Amino acid sequence: MKPNALTSGLLCVTLLWTLAACSSQATQAQKGTGAGVLIGAAAGAGLGQAIGRNTQGTLIGAAIGAAVGGLAGHQIGAYMDRQEAELRNAMAQSDAVSLARSQDVLTATFKGDLMFDFDSATIKPGGYMELDRVAGVLNKYPQTTIRVEGHTDTQGSEVYNQQLSERRAEAVQNALIQRNVNPARIQAVGYGESMPISSSHELNRRVNIVIVPIQQG
């Protein structure tokens, strides 16, 4: 049986939507849509084949699945777009905190010297000021999980640095909780000296706050 005009139209829209989202000029929200389209289309195609047991059923299922999946992808991308914009605005006055994005995951990196004195896991006053701003944004976007990562340089023993990184991550975690961020959202992890980003001791001493959207299953 040949697909009817409605099926063909749905597939054309799906194809154009996916191609636009995959272009190099696409926004993060559009790329999220594209990912949702592909996932939804695959799931919908399987369901359509199982129900209709023919090509038309498969095509209709793919088109409907793409529409549903695309909506979920767009919601995640747009949600993280808004959060990213607010975080960048909150951090605009600081040169001690930077923000990076990979797909829909945001990473705020705090310079270790801003947050802690050498060989200390006690947050400095300037560090609390930065966390005040970040926590304010995190509280506005509860549909994310937060991983606090502690990193050290290579001065001292590996075992000691691992323990220090864990204490620093836990200190930041506790500071966020004190600022009303839901503790169920936060995980603290120490990486010690195992993940350097530079030959500079100063740059390797850092704390990352990694923000990941919660995706509906």
In the chain, the domains with their CATH numbers are 5-84 (no CATH), 95-213 (3.30.1330.60)
Nearest-angstrom CA–CA distance, 32 and 158: 40
pLDDT 10s digits, 150-173:
999 899 899 999 999 999 999 999
pLDDT tens per residue, range 31-54: 554 544 444 444 444 444 444 445
The tokens of 34 are what? 């594209």
Give residue-wise pLDDT tens across range 117-148.
989 999 999 999 999 999 999 999 999 999 99
Strand boundaries in the chain, DSSP class E:
97-102, 105-111, 144-151, 186-190, 206-213
Q: Distance between CA 59 and CA 8 in Å, rounded?
A: 8
Tell me the percentage of the chain whose pLDDT exceeds 70.
65
Residue 80 near residue 91, CB atoms below 8 Å: no
Neighbour-count burial for 155-167, b at 16+ CB within 10 Å, e otherwise: eeeeeebbbbbbb
Against a cut of 0.85, is the pTM above it? no
